[in-house]
Amino acid sequence: MRTLAQRVAETRELPDKIAVEWNNVSSLPEVQSLLFREVFLQELGTRRTVVPANAGTPLLRISLRENPTDFLLVAQIGEASGGQVRMTSLSKSLFLPTMARGTGFRLVKQLLWQQPQAILDARELTEAPGSPANILLLKTDALAIYRESDERLTTVQELGFGNYRYISRGLRGELQKNQDGGLVVTLPNLTCLLHGPAAPSDRWTMTCSPHGGAGQLTNSSSSDGDTKPDAAVAITSSCDGTAWKLLAGESDWTRPDRLLLVGAQMKKDEAVASLEFAGPVLRVASAQDAKAALVVVFDLSSGNYEVYRVAIACGQ
Amino acid sequence: MNKRRAMGRTLTKLALPFFIAALTLGFAERLFAATQPTYGGTLLVEFRSPTLMLDPAKWKTGSPESSDSMQIAAAIFDRLVTLNRYGRLQPALATDWSHDEQYRRWQFSVRPGVLLSDGSPLTSGDIADALRELLPGKPTITPAPARVVLQFPTAVPDLLEQLASSRYFIFRRNANATLTGTGPFVVGKSSTTASGTTFKLLANERCWAGRPFVDEIDVLLGVPALRQLFDLQLGKTDVADLSPELAHRAVRDNLRVWSSAPVYLYALQITGSAPGAKAGTDRPATAKLNSGEALSRALDRATMANVLLQKQAEPAASFLPQWLSGYAFVFGMENDVDRARETNVRSSSAPSGAQLLRLRVDAGGDLAKLIAERVAINARQAGIPMQIQARAAVRDDAGGAAPAKPLEWEGVRLVAWRYSSLSRRAELSNMISGLQLQTETAEPAAESAEQTYEYERALLSEYQLIPLVVLPQYVGLSARVRDWLPERWDAWHLADVWLDGKKNSAAPAGVQP
């Protein structure tokens, strides 16, 4: 940004006093565009006087654009046809999200985690009553355990699947409790049992064994089966303790989805509230206390898999 | 202190059952929300093109006719890397890659355990052989255990973008010249009936990235454009490459239509001596340039795109479209008939530039004829008399129009170009070689946006190729097609498509952006 400002300032045609028109015509979030603008203006301000746009003031047009691999900042100095053009590009890969800080409750959803790699399932688990909740994310190469504090997740442990190679176009993979009360990780051709720490200082462990039996997840057409959507996920209002259920849409993975809040005895078309997401909702699971739900979403605009905590807001 | 430690141990002992018991608590109901993909069924695809050519080495760069072949090849072969719609390069047959500081030496790690569709393992030797056939620039390609090293004589900073697009698929060429791939589908038997040739693809159970959702794809070739529309309405097909002329009608008929970013360029190519000159006479370069400039200024691209092509096209002032370059909007489109007339008079030896200019329509289809007629009208308005000459279509090996021989033609050609590379530099280079442009502008050494922009600006100012309009690819879809999520540059992902058994394929499904 600074280099572009310097190169623009070095252009002979650029007058001493100039107005800057900034236009974001890309998929980059406006917040990021404004940050760029600030840095650019700061640098340009050291070499030229930037004034508000009005009639007669020479205009420097900055346009934030994109191509398949980069974001482009294009500076047009003078009139479009005869003027000078300077540009700089920023690889889109630079904008890969790292651990995102939770942004707090936005009415009813709170972003807990996002990453470009697939998230197959999410569960909440508390080691002991009163202890902080663990968020378990099932990824294609590991089961990741996070601890939530101050509205952000920190990594507790990642348990890999060894030499196992995840193969499934359908994002198959589940976290389920078994009859013994343990947590079972089911992936195509692999089943793992999660063992909680025996003491606070201990670590989580996982034992895995390959499988291919009927009824298990595989990537073959015969036994992968169609996952029939469950009726709903139960959720309790923390305001008055009333029982509700969450329902998701029935579109495929090409469209944004939404969750509907429906009374425990109501039908789908009697939803009292809805919550929009920027992509298909892939999984919904009740949180430990059923006062919230964990939702896995694929954000179509950013290409990230996101995990939200969804709760019923009080009095809003 | 010791007492405190002892108490801690006691508490830990007491807490132990809770740690275990906690695992049993609280997992309430769960929900698989968005409709999960299901396996099975036959996806029916119709193409207007009468043939498919699945050998990437035989594709004519930029030929619109090879577009369908590229879509099907992508279902049979894989690439080393891919680019997703979010601008992230994704590992495919290569799990990771690196390069030296000069971008001349590239190293790719080969994904282990990948099988070709005949069951034999993919080797780094297969990858090296395929790339040797396809890559320009004569790189030295050395296979090593689990990796491939490419050494180029010059810097190739955009190699990954190149490998993620165009013809750079990985295959093994068999003794009988057929190709075997690692992709999600394998080629089945083709059959010919009264309705055309059907090309069958079968699910590859061994595919390293997972079995595709559909069991088979039946590709029916040589289907007339109108019949495609009826077949979509009657549920006789699931996917059809609609002609732009019929896209409006399909939407009006409440069919589901997907459109890509603009991937076809229609342009005028000035060849031989200056337009307006008698054939065979030498004209100074400036005269040729002025004539091209006059013609370019005479063209009303906005009317072509918005009125003639009913907003199915976008006016084009540059070789590369906005979505590919990011800077195309900078190039102005000056439609100035008076100035065009002045420039034409200045460049012509004949009074008022009255020499007849021949416009040969090399691009196929009714659309090209429509555009040519509009070009002729614009030219005449600027005092450039123009006559359209249709060219007898000759089929080449790939089933497309015969390779053009621009240098044997003196006048103006209307050409169609299919963008295929995600590298700006490579696409410009392809256009220069594919259309045999005689440029003296040196190709930039680096892939920086500004250098590519300056390069393209210099090419445009030579007026050998005058862009007119860009058009997207339109695809008609049946209601039962789910997870249709191609890249916007028209790269389909047929392996990820699944069929909704509950939906009647004939049911109207609205418009899909």
Residue among A92, A169, A286 minimizing CB distance to B210: A169
B-chain CB neighbours of A69 within 8 Å are 83, 87, 89, 161, 422
Is B163 found in the same domain as B305? no
Q: What pLDDT shows up at residue A82?
A: 61
Test B86 with A92 for CB contact under 8 angstroms: yes
Rounded to an integer, what distance in angstroms lies between the CA atom of residue B473 and that of residue B263? Answer: 7
Q: What pLDDT shows up at residue B118?
A: 94
Asked if residues A80 and B332 have their Cβ atoms less than 8 Å apart, the reply is yes
- Closest chain B residue to the Cα of A302, Cα to Cα: B86
- Closest chain A residue to the Cα of B40, Cα to Cα: A221
Is A147 found in the same domain as A39? no
- Closest chain A residue to the Cα of B161, Cα to Cα: A69
**Cross-sheet strand order for the sheet of A70-77:** A49-50, A17-24, A59-66, A70-77, A84-91
Test B33 with A282 for CB contact under 8 angstroms: yes
Looking at A39, A68, A95, the residue that finishes a domain is A95
Range A283-312 average pLDDT: 88
Residue among B16, B30, B38 minimizing CB distance to A198: B16
Q: Which of B225, B117, B249, B212 is nearest to B170 (CA)?
A: B117
Is A118 found in the same domain as A82? no
Residues in CB range of A250: below 8 A, 6 or more apart: A229, B34, B35
**Mean pLDDT computed over every residue of chain B:** 84
Rounded to an integer, what distance in angstroms lies between the CA atom of residue A73 and that of residue A66? Answer: 8
Q: For residue B460, how many C-alpha atoms fall within 13 Å in the half-sphere facing its CB?
A: 20
Asked if residues B136 and B116 have their Cβ atoms less than 8 Å apart, the reply is no
3-state secondary structure of B55: coil
Is B467 found in the same domain as B355? yes
Pairing of strands A233-236, A205-210: unpaired
Asked if the structure places residue B123 within a domain, the reply is yes
Asked if the structure places residue A268 within a domain, the reply is yes
- Say how many domains are in chain B: 2
What is the H or E stretch that residue A193 is in?
strand A190-195
Test B31 with A251 for CB contact under 8 angstroms: no
Is A115 found in the same domain as A79? no
The torsion angle over the Cα atoms of residues B233, B237, B239 and B242, rounded to 10 degrees, is -50
Q: What pLDDT shows up at residue B311?
A: 87
A-chain CB neighbours of B24 within 8 Å are 177, 180-182
Q: What pLDDT shows up at residue B86?
A: 87
Question: pLDDT tens across A148-169, in order?
Answer: 777 778 888 999 998 898 988 8
Is A39 found in the same domain as A128? no
Test A219 with B35 for CB contact under 8 angstroms: no
Asked if the structure places residue B338 within a domain, the reply is yes
Test B453 with A125 for CB contact under 8 angstroms: no
Is A207 found in the same domain as A62? no
Rounded to an integer, what distance in angstroms lies between the CA atom of residue A28 and that of residue B237? Answer: 38
The domain of B280 spans: 264-471
Looking at B157, B174, B191, the residue that finishes a domain is B174
Q: What pLDDT shows up at residue A270?
A: 67
Q: What pLDDT shows up at residue A115?
A: 93
Rounded to an integer, what distance in angstroms lies between the CA atom of residue B121 and that of residue B187? Answer: 18
Test A68 with B18 for CB contact under 8 angstroms: no
Looking at B137, B157, B174, the residue that finishes a domain is B174
Chain B: give the shortest CA distance to residue A79, in Å.
10
B-chain CB neighbours of A219 within 8 Å are 210-211
Asked if residues A32 and A95 have their Cβ atoms less than 8 Å apart, the reply is yes
Asked if the structure places residue A18 within a domain, the reply is yes
Tell which of A127, A141, A169 to mutate to test the B interface (max B CBs under 10 Å): A169
Is A127 found in the same domain as A155? yes
Asked if the structure places residue A102 within a domain, the reply is no
- Closest chain B residue to the Cα of A75, Cα to Cα: B330
- Closest chain A residue to the Cα of B447, Cα to Cα: A89
Range A243-261 average pLDDT: 83
Is A230 found in the same domain as A135? yes
Question: pLDDT tens across A192-240, in order?
Answer: 998 888 777 788 889 999 875 433 443 333 333 334 444 578 887 776 6
B-chain CB neighbours of A249 within 8 Å are 33-34
Chain A: give the shortest CA distance to residue B402, in Å.
31
Asked if the structure places residue B234 within a domain, the reply is no
Tell which of A178, A195, A252 to mutate to test the B interface (max B CBs under 10 Å): A252
Q: What pLDDT shows up at residue B396?
A: 45
Is B305 found in the same domain as B437? yes
Rounded to an integer, what distance in angstroms lies between the CA atom of residue B266 and that of residue B316? Answer: 9
Q: What pLDDT shows up at residue B348?
A: 62
Test B23 with A96 for CB contact under 8 angstroms: no
Q: What pLDDT shows up at residue A268?
A: 67
| pLDDT of B52 over the 60 cut | yes
| pLDDT of B431 over the 90 cut | yes
Q: How many CB pairs under 8 A join A and B?
A: 224
Residue among B161, B329, B485 minimizing CB distance to A254: B485
Question: pLDDT tens across A94-146, in order?
Answer: 775 543 333 333 346 888 999 999 999 999 887 766 677 789 999 999 999 99
Test B215 with A70 for CB contact under 8 angstroms: no
| pLDDT of B17 over the 50 cut | no
Chain A: give the shortest CA distance to residue B95, in Å.
13
Asked if the structure places residue A316 within a domain, the reply is no
Asked if the structure places residue A103 within a domain, the reply is no
> Any idea what the CATH number is for the domain that residue B101 is in?
3.90.76.10
Test A88 with B450 for CB contact under 8 angstroms: yes
More confident residue, A295 or B274: A295
Question: pLDDT tens across B26-51, in order?
Answer: 334 456 656 778 899 999 999 999 99
Angle CA(B344)–CA(B346)–CA(B348) in degrees, nearest 5? Answer: 65
Is B306 found in the same domain as B422? yes
The domain of A13 spans: 2-95
Is B443 found in the same domain as B299? yes
Residue among B85, B211, B450 minimizing CB distance to A220: B211
Chain B: give the shortest CA distance to residue A314, in Å.
22
Asked if residues B237 and B220 have their Cβ atoms less than 8 Å apart, the reply is yes
Share of chain B above pLDDT 70, in %: 81
A-chain CB neighbours of B113 within 8 Å are 165
Rounded to an integer, what distance in angstroms lies between the CA atom of residue A274 and that of residue A246? Answer: 9
Asked if the structure places residue B56 within a domain, the reply is no
Test B36 with A170 for CB contact under 8 angstroms: yes
Residue among B33, B324, B449 minimizing CB distance to A283: B33
Residue among B32, B323, B330 minimizing CB distance to A85: B330
Chain B: give the shortest CA distance to residue A42, in Å.
23
Tokens of B105: 């030496």
Looking at A36, A62, A95, the residue that finishes a domain is A95
Looking at A65, A95, A125, the residue that finishes a domain is A95
Is A211 found in the same domain as A62? no
Asked if residues A177 and B27 have their Cβ atoms less than 8 Å apart, the reply is yes
A-chain CB neighbours of B20 within 8 Å are 181, 196, 198
- Say how many domains are in chain A: 2
Chain B: give the shortest CA distance to residue A46, in Å.
24
Is A116 found in the same domain as A142? yes
Q: What pLDDT shows up at residue B30?
A: 59
ipTM of this complex prediction, to 2 decimal places: 0.77
| pLDDT of B226 over the 90 cut | yes
Q: What pLDDT shows up at residue B382?
A: 86
Is B445 found in the same domain as B297? yes
Is A197 found in the same domain as A91? no
Asked if residues B44 and B235 have their Cβ atoms less than 8 Å apart, the reply is no
Asked if the structure places residue B337 within a domain, the reply is yes
Residue among B12, B25, B34 minimizing CB distance to A288: B25
Test A285 with B37 for CB contact under 8 angstroms: no
Is B159 found in the same domain as B288? no
Q: What pLDDT shows up at residue A92?
A: 86
Question: pLDDT tens across B248-276, in order?
Answer: 899 999 999 999 999 999 999 988 654 44
Q: For residue B410, how many C-alpha atoms fall within 13 Å in the half-sphere facing its CB?
A: 14
From residue B230, how far is each of B226, B410, B504 by CA, in Å?
7, 42, 15
Chain A: give the shortest CA distance to residue B499, in Å.
11
Residue among A68, A227, A232 minimizing CB distance to B489: A68
Test B32 with A230 for CB contact under 8 angstroms: yes
Q: What pLDDT shows up at residue A286?
A: 84
Chain B: give the shortest CA distance to residue A34, in Å.
19
How far is Cα of residue A253 from the mean position of the Cα atoms in its chain?
Answer: 15
Is B281 found in the same domain as B391? yes
Is B152 found in the same domain as B282? no
Is A206 found in the same domain as A126? yes
Is B281 found in the same domain as B134? no
Is A131 found in the same domain as A270? yes
Asked if the structure places residue B213 within a domain, the reply is no
Q: What pLDDT shows up at residue B273?
A: 54
What is the torsional sign of CA B358, B355, B315, A71?
Answer: positive
A-chain CB neighbours of B297 within 8 Å are none
Q: What pLDDT shows up at residue A211?
A: 76
Asked if the structure places residue A245 within a domain, the reply is yes
A-chain CB neighbours of B483 within 8 Å are 252-254
Question: pLDDT tens across B111-152, in order?
Answer: 999 999 999 999 999 999 999 999 988 899 999 999 999 999
Per-range mean pLDDT, top range of A211-220, A283-292, B309-318:
B309-318
Chain B: give the shortest CA distance to residue A267, in Å.
16
Test B88 with A177 for CB contact under 8 angstroms: no
Residue among B30, B86, B485 minimizing CB distance to A286: B30
Residue whose structure tokens are 């298990």: A216
Question: pLDDT tens across A46-94, in order?
Answer: 888 888 888 778 889 999 999 999 999 999 987 655 678 999 999 888 7
| pLDDT of B286 over the 70 cut | no
Chain B: give the shortest CA distance to residue A297, in Å.
9
Asked if residues A210 and A217 have their Cβ atoms less than 8 Å apart, the reply is no
B-chain CB neighbours of A129 within 8 Å are 18, 22
Pairing of strands B42-46, B239-242: parallel
A-chain CB neighbours of B15 within 8 Å are 128, 199-200
> Any idea what the CATH number is for the domain that residue B409 is in?
3.10.105.10
Q: What pLDDT shows up at residue A229?
A: 43
What is the H or E stretch that residue A205 is in?
strand A205-210
Beta strands in B162-281 (DSSP E): 172-173, 179-180, 185-187, 191-193, 196-203, 216-221, 239-242, 256-271
Asked if the structure places residue A47 within a domain, the reply is yes
| pLDDT of B357 over the 90 cut | no
Q: What pLDDT shows up at residue B313?
A: 93
Asked if the structure places residue B207 within a domain, the reply is no
- Closest chain B residue to the Cα of A279, Cα to Cα: B34
B-chain CB neighbours of A288 within 8 Å are 25-26
Test B15 with A253 for CB contact under 8 angstroms: no
> Any idea what the CATH number is for the domain that residue A20 is in?
3.30.160
Test A92 with B87 for CB contact under 8 angstroms: yes
Which burial class, exposed, middle or buried, applies to B285 when counting CB atoms under 10 A from its CB (0-12, 13-18, 19+)?
A: exposed
Asked if the structure places residue B127 within a domain, the reply is yes
